Structure 1
Amino acid sequence: MSNEDMVGAGYEGGVGVEGGAGYEGGVEAAAARGLGELAGSVEGGAIPYDRLVAGGRRRLRRRRLLTSGAVAVLVAAVVGGGTALGGLERGLGRGAGAVEVAAASSVTAAAPASAPVAAAPTVAVRDPFTPIRTMVGHGTAAGRQWQAWTALWPATATKEDAFRQAQLIWEDRHTAIPQLPKTTQTDIDRGWHPDLDLVNLYLTVDGKRQVDDTVHDTPAPGTPGADSTTGSISPSGSMLGFKGGEMGTAPVVIAAARPDVAKIVVTWDNGGSTEAVPVTVGDSPTRWYAIAKKPGAQADTYTYYGADGAVLSSEVSWFRSS
C-alpha cells in the first residue's frame, strides 16, 4: 500500500465525522495499519516510520486545505451575493419586491447564476403618444382645493405621428371641453415642428378637471434654445380659471421658467407675498410653476430669483389686468 493509499483510507474513513474525534483517530489508525503491512514487505533496513507519517500528514493537510478552500469559495459566493440572494428569498413571498431589492444591490460575479442581477440604468423612451403628467402647483381658493397640471406630449418625428398625437390630445381635453374642435391635417401641415414638445396646461378643482386649459410648445431636449438662460424669464404661460368661473377671483397663472430660475415671489399691493418653485416635467429642460392670485389684490412685484438668491428679473405683467 502506498503512502497516498494509506492516508486516503484514513481520510475517507473520517469524512463522516468531520470535526469530531473520529476524524483524527481514523487517520492515525489507518496509517498504523498500513505501516504494519508495509513493514512486513520491506527487505532489510530500518523502516522510515517518521518520514512515512510526515508524508501522510502532509497529504492529509493538503486535502484539508483543498476542502476548506472549496468551502471558502462557496462562502465567498454566498456572502458576495448576499444582498441579491436575500432579495430573491424575500421575493418568494413579496413578488415584485425582489426586483426592487436586486436593482438596488451590487451583485458580484461570485453570485449564483439564479440570483437576480441588477440591470443597468436605462433612459426612459420618449413616447409621443403617452403624456407625462406633472402637478406643478396647488392651493386653496374659497375653501376648494385646486391643482395646476402639465401634460407633456413629446415631439413627434413625422407629420403622420403629429396628427395621431393631435387626435389623442383632443380626446384627452374633450372630456372636460365638449365643444373643443378637432385638429385637422391642415393644422398639422401649418404648425408641426419636429423640435417642439407640446404642453397642455390645465386645472383641477376638488379633483375635477376644469374647462379652462391651453396648449403651448416648448423646445425638446437637445434642440437649439432648450437650455437657454437668455431672453424671456417666463417664455410662455397662461392664466386659467376664467372660462367656467372655476376659480372666481383667484385665477391661477401656470407658466414656464428658464433653467436658471430657482424661485418666483409675488408681492401683493395689500400686503403679503406668494412664492413658487419651478417643477421639472419629465426630461424637458423647461420647468413650470403655478401661482394663484390673491383675491382682491393686485400684484405689486413679480420677481425671479436665481439659485444664489440673486434677482434675475422683476416685473408686474401677471395679474395686473385682472
Structure 2
Amino acid sequence: MSSRVQRVLDTLSIEQVGRDEFQGSSLPMPHGRVYGGQVLAQALLAAAATVPDDRPGPRLPHSVHGYFLRPGDIDVPITFAVERMRDGRSFTARRTHALQGGQPILSMISSFQLEQPGLDHQDAPPDVPDPEEIAVSGDVLTALDHPLGTFWGRYGAFDIRHVEPQIYLRPATRRTDVQHVWMKARGPLPDDEVLHRALLAYACDQVVLEPVLRRHGTGWATPGLSVASLDHAMWWHRKARADEWLLYAQASPSAQGGRGLGTAQVFDRGGALVATIAQEGMVRLP
C-alpha cells in the first residue's frame, strides 16, 4: 500500500476510550490546523462504530450534515463523543461532537440505513475525457516553495486530475463555476464500505470549494485569499470504492456575504451516481 494512503488510514484509525467515546490524532498539516476532511471522516467512523450490525446486512451511512465550529489544533488529540439519537427498524441516527479542550470543533449528525429495495433513478454523467488522458494535477505542486503546496504535492493520498485547467498556481482564463475532477486513492484499500464512504468525505474537502474561486477568476495562490469550510452535507446513493476512479462534477450556485457554496455530483467509472455533496465556505479576498 502507498505510504501516503497508509498515513491517512493510520490517522483515521480512531481509538475507542468509552462506550460512545473515541479519540484520534491529526495529520501534520503545515499551517497547524486540522484538515476538515480528516475530522469529518473520523466523526463518521466514530458514529459508525456505535451502529448495530443488522442481519442480513449492515446499516451503511447514507447522509451526513455537519458544521465546522472552530479551527482544530493538529497537536491536540481529538475526542469524538457520539450520541445515540435513534435506532429504528431501517434507519439509525447519530450525533457526533469532535472536541478539543472540551470545546466542539465539529458537530455532525449522520444517518445510516439497512439496504432495501425501492425507486431508482439518477442524473446522467457528463461526457468528459478519461482520467488516463489527463495529467496529474498535483505534479505542479511538488516543486512549489510553499508549505501547503509541498504537503499536498508530495504527501497527498489521492491522485487528483482536473479536466479543466487546475487553479493551484494561477486563475483559469475562463470564468465559470463548472469543474470536473477525477480522483482516486493512490493505493488499494481494505474491503470496508464504511471506510470507503468516509474516505470520499475526506477527499472531497480538497476540491469542493474550487468552483467558487473559478467563477470569480481567482486561484489558490491569490495573495490574501482566505478560505475555510463552514458546513458540509453529503449523501451516498450507491456503493463506491475510493481506490477506483470517481468523477466529481462540480458547480457553485451562489456566493455572497463572504460565503460561497460548492456542490458536486460524484460518478463512478461506469456512470453510476454514487454521492452528492454540498459545502458552504468562507471565501474572502482582499
The two structures have a TM-score, normalised by structure 1, of: 0.25
The two structures have a TM-score, normalised by structure 2, of: 0.28
Structure showing the higher helix proportion among its residues: 1
Higher-Rg member (1/2)? 1
Structure showing the higher strand proportion among its residues: 2
Q: Which has the higher contact order (CA 8 A, sep 6+)?
A: 2
